Structure 1
Amino acid sequence: MSDNHPRETPLPRIAILDIGIESSTFSPHRSDLDDFNQRRGDELLARYPFLAPGSPLREAADWVPLMQASAIPGGAVVPTAYDQMEAEILDLLEARGPFDGVFFHIHGAMSVVGRQDAEGQLATKVRRAAGDQAMISTSMDLHGNVTQELLEAVDLITCYRMAPHEDAVESWERAVQNLVTTLQTGSRPRKAWVRVPVLLPGEKTSTRIEPAKSIYAQVPVTEQRQGVLDAAIWVGYAWADEPRCNATVVVTGEDQAVITAEARRLAELYWDAREDFAFVTPTGTFAECLDQALASDLRPFMISDSGDNPTAGGSGDMTWAVARLLEHPAVTGGEASVLYTAIPDPEGARAAYAAGPGAQLTLTAGARVDHEHQGPVTLEGTVVTATDADPVGGKVAVVGVGGLHVVITERRKPYHLREDFEYAGVNPDEFDIVISKVGYLEPYLYGLAADWRMALTPGGVDQDLLRLGHQHIERPMFPFDPKMPDPDLSPTLLSPRVENDA
């Protein structure tokens, strides 16, 4: 790969830009520059296995990986951090261009403090830097938001079709393949766009269950229609309070009649099912879920502490659930073994790590960022494990108080992969109850759970959306306005910026 590839090459030059975070505007957490993992050059190219050396897509273009900046979900991004990342993106496009195409990889739910539709505005600036002739293909999370500004700036757009997102890499590859194909054929597809006034959490729209399972099964059916290049349904992001937050359908292709009809069909399927969407597992208050877990013989029994889920944008440092566990005699008395993941607290994690396994200590931890519902908790117990091997969490310790084992991390992180627990030095299979700050269970946790409940706990990603107090979403919107009239689901047709050359 050459950064200064001669312009006369028969291969198209394609830039890779990758920036993303899922940002809860209801969380007091703020995402700063050091929250973003940044890659450039070959390190960024290696992120995409379908662009490995010798692969058909790698050989189809001259790939110029410019920049990646991605973070685990959190609060809104501080403007100075965002401005620095945006400036580098635009500078790189100008300095390394011209480009025939841009793979514009975003999440779709990045919020910046004091701004709205940061990704739509970024897309407009990327378009300006790349020029109207460049083909821009965008890949998104299905929990992202799609505005007209974003759609007008890009040529191609798609998103995941599974929740949990087991098809993420497949979706990225589809966006890249569509880009390469259109550059090879010279086609300039149209886009049929429908805003669907429904805003639901991902835990109610999992494709593991109905109705999302059947609705999303129709997406590839649409994609196979003659004259269609791609189809996508976005759930939207429920924990940001912006006008762009809602479900969306986009069908892309060259046959105007077909893409318009299919966009309307998919939108109507989603709207008609709005009252059928339900949580992916039985739910209840935290007390109810804990009582059910204690009474069950199934082990390990999983409980999702959903209101502070860091994979959805929660601060991750709430102590509300741990405070209730410390008050429960069956837990502190050791009648049941309970693993809780996790509380990020830099000072607490370092103190426990310094004390080392076996040390008795009194530790105050958590609620440094989000203390609206509960202040820091005091753990009087034993350091069970302590490690500094976690590349994300930093120093990590497990503190035992009776039957309760609490994971304390130096840096905020989710716990949903096997290696997360391995880094902490604990085996979740050995506990009666495993409580994790998560919503729907990621594949590893889903396979681990003998049974599962989702506790409807408070926090920045509260599953009860009506408790959050949205003020800026477009109304009427379901479920905020349950008796709203049926909306006009007629698609808006967006023509190519540059007419077909083929």
Structure 2
Amino acid sequence: MPRPRKPVARPVIAIAGLGIESSTFSPARTEAPAFHPLRGEGVLTRYPFLAPGEPLTEAADWRGALVGKSLPGGQVTAEAFASLSDELIERLAAMPALDGLWYDIHGAMTVEGIDDAEALLLARIRETVGPEVIVSTSMDLHGNVSRELAHGSDLITCYRMAPHEDFMETKERAARNLVDLLTSGAPRPVKAWVPVPVLLAGEQTSTRIEPAKSVYAKVPEVEATEGVIDAAIWVGYAWADEPRNRAVVVVTGQDVAAVSAGAERLARAFYEAREDFAFVAPTGTLDACLDDALASPDRPYFISDSGDNPTAGGAGDVTWGLERVLARPEFTDPSGPKVIYASVPGAAAIAVAEAAGVGASVTVTAGAEVDDRHSGPLTVTGVVHAIRQGDRDAGTEVVLRVGSVYAILTKRRKPYHHEHDFTDLDLDPRGADIVIVKIGYLEPELFDMSAGWKLALTPGGVDQDLVRLGHHRIRRPMFPFDRHMAEPDLTARIISPSDEPLSGTDE
């Protein structure tokens, strides 16, 4: 029987967390500065709903510990994780007694030599703040929820849209659920956890299209059930190879029967749709996509160079795609079809272009410093079209015109998701014939801008062909690796409140 708790009028709540997607199939490594950690009062500036005067701000005393968020990338080094985690714990230990903690993470962080880094960090947090503190965890739906992470969290939720247009709404929900639980004095919730033996890429599970659209539409229906606080479906992260990588459903609430029934309903819906999940756009080789783009009257025509997508964990410096584009005879003349390509890092190339200046003709070499498995460094000669300094991710950006291709080079890797990412570089994506972006599904602004779109199945650390990547540590059987697997057990596993011992296995 859940133990009653005393209501807290204005609870003291800390905010902490580290977030990244880490591809174990990329040779890249992520160091501590990539997390751009915020500390103390700076943490609160991440969240508009915690601005002065907002209802949630008035409802609790919020204390920032440390929150760091990195672009997706390679595995986090052991040293980086240790230094950031140690500082986070030190800051929590220096705080007054807490009533609650909001654990704001992604859920797909892989650290060298560590499985389930987020659960490990949460265990350290609990040792520091004490077992009575209520923890609310917010995550990306491409995160991974082990039984240990679910147990360590009293409340847990994730995004319900891919692309993640509801990311801030989800964080606010996690914070609001925490405040509501603390101020109401309700008992600690139970969680119904169901691992689903399916592992698919985000580009196959976008909620823009079926079947994910209908499957995720069931989530708020379950959440609205009497006795349920929150419901969530995690697709899981496909480009890491750990035992926790798979889809998971968690439903949280006070009524064991209600959370169990809701979790099993969502798990069954996801599993039964497994064969229907398809790529969010027509796919093909890069050459085939270029052929289709050139033949199409639709302008601008977008092509996703998906295998090296930096927002999924790719190194970002694979030159294979740009090399193929520049080899096409259609683009060798400046009067040819206008192509924008984003992007390839190359610090040495940036230095040469900066020294020469806009309008100069330069020969530079860029790319393949991290991931050279598919093609080597690329040397090109072109005219410097634009230079922009001070970008948070890229540092410095240079546009080099080679024939009719406007290739974006960066000092450090950067994702290109917004129209201003291009217009800031004196580029007009709406006026281009073809825009090629290292991305999977198009982010909302690009999607709205595109008149045509195909997803190129290109090589890299986030290759969309999961079977050929070589997973060997995930739990088997698993779809699509084992297409003729037996019916799985989708019975809800009830996880008791976090202040009770965890028993059973992660199955």
TM-score > 0.5 by shorter chain:
yes
What's the counterpart of residue 472 of structure 1?
473
Aligned with 1:357: secondary structure? coil
Rounded to whole Å, the distance in 1 between the matches of 2:140 and 2:234 is: 8
Pairwise mapping of residues 11-410 of structure 1 onto structure 2 (< 5 A)? Answer: 11-187=10-186, 188-334=188-334, 335-410=336-411
- Which amino acid in 1 is paired with 2:497? P
The reply on whether 1:486 has 2:487 as its aligned counterpart is yes
What do the CA deviations read for 1:456-496 (whole angstroms, capped 9, x no partner)?
00100000101100010000000000000110001110111
Residues 9/463 of structure 1: CA separation in 2 closer, same or farther (3 Å cut): closer
- Which amino acid in 2 is paired with 1:362? T
The reply on whether 1:445 has 2:462 as its aligned counterpart is no
- Contact kept, 8 Å, 2:26 with 2:462, in 1: the verdict is yes
Aligned with 1:76: secondary structure? strand
Rounded to whole Å, the distance in 2 between the matches of 1:19 and 1:97 is: 22
- Contact kept, 8 Å, 1:390 with 1:424, in 2: the verdict is no
Which consecutive aligned stretches of 4+ in structure 1 deviate over 3 angstroms post-superposition? none
Rounded to whole Å, the distance in 1 between the matches of 2:227 and 2:275 is: 32
Give, in angstroms, the shift of residue 97 of structure 1. 3.2
Question: What TM-score does the superposition give when structure 1 sets the normalisation length?
Answer: 0.96
- Contact kept, 8 Å, 1:349 with 1:410, in 2: the verdict is yes
Percent of aligned positions that are identical: 55
- Contact kept, 8 Å, 1:350 with 1:395, in 2: the verdict is no
- Contact kept, 8 Å, 2:199 with 2:237, in 1: the verdict is yes
What do the CA deviations read for 1:261-309 (whole angstroms, capped 9, x no partner)?
1100100000000000000010001110010001111111000000000
Rounded to whole Å, the distance in 1 between the matches of 2:499 and 2:383 is: 66
Rounded to whole Å, the distance in 2 between the matches of 1:328 and 1:377 is: 15
Aligned with 1:275: secondary structure? helix
Once the two structures are overlaid, the 10-residue window that deviates more, 419-428 or 404-413, is 419-428
What do the CA deviations read for 1:444-467 (whole angstroms, capped 9, x no partner)?
110111100000001000001011
CA RMSD, 1 decimal: 1.2
What's the counterpart of residue 503 of structure 2?
none
- Contact kept, 8 Å, 1:127 with 1:154, in 2: the verdict is no
Give, in angstroms, the shift of residue 201 of structure 1. 0.2
- Matched pairs, number: 492
What do the CA deviations read for 1:153-188 (whole angstroms, capped 9, x no partner)?
111100000000000000000000110011012221
Rounded to whole Å, the distance in 2 between the matches of 1:43 and 1:138 is: 20
Rounded to whole Å, the distance in 2 between the matches of 1:268 and 1:9 is: 38
Rounded to whole Å, the distance in 1 between the matches of 2:431 and 2:338 is: 8
What's the counterpart of residue 504 of structure 2?
none
Rounded to whole Å, the distance in 2 between the matches of 1:123 and 1:317 is: 33
- Contact kept, 8 Å, 1:325 with 1:332, in 2: the verdict is no
What's the counterpart of residue 4 of structure 2?
none
- Contact kept, 8 Å, 2:23 with 2:314, in 1: the verdict is yes
Give, in angstroms, the shift of residue 430 of structure 1. 2.2
What's the counterpart of residue 419 of structure 2?
418
Give, in angstroms, the shift of residue 424 of structure 1. 2.5
Gaps of 5+ in 2: 1-6, 501-507
- Contact kept, 8 Å, 1:146 with 1:248, in 2: the verdict is yes
Aligned with 1:341: secondary structure? strand
Rounded to whole Å, the distance in 1 between the matches of 2:70 and 2:355 is: 28
Question: What TM-score does the superposition give when structure 2 sets the normalisation length?
Answer: 0.95
Give, in angstroms, the shift of residue 41 of structure 1. 2.2
Rounded to whole Å, the distance in 2 between the matches of 1:430 and 1:360 is: 24
Residues 147/380 of structure 1: CA separation in 2 closer, same or farther (3 Å cut): same
Rounded to whole Å, the distance in 2 between the matches of 1:9 and 1:154 is: 19
Gaps of 5+ in 1: 1-7
What's the counterpart of residue 430 of structure 1?
431
Give, in angstroms, the shift of residue 42 of structure 1. 2.3
What do the CA deviations read for 1:351-401 (whole angstroms, capped 9, x no partner)?
112211110111111111100000011111111111214232111111111
Aligned with 2:181: secondary structure? helix
Rounded to whole Å, the distance in 2 between the matches of 1:209 and 1:482 is: 23
What do the CA deviations read for 1:34-90 (whole angstroms, capped 9, x no partner)?
212111122210111111111111111111011111111000001101100000111
What do the CA deviations read for 1:232-286 (whole angstroms, capped 9, x no partner)?
0000000001000000000000110111011001000000000000000100011
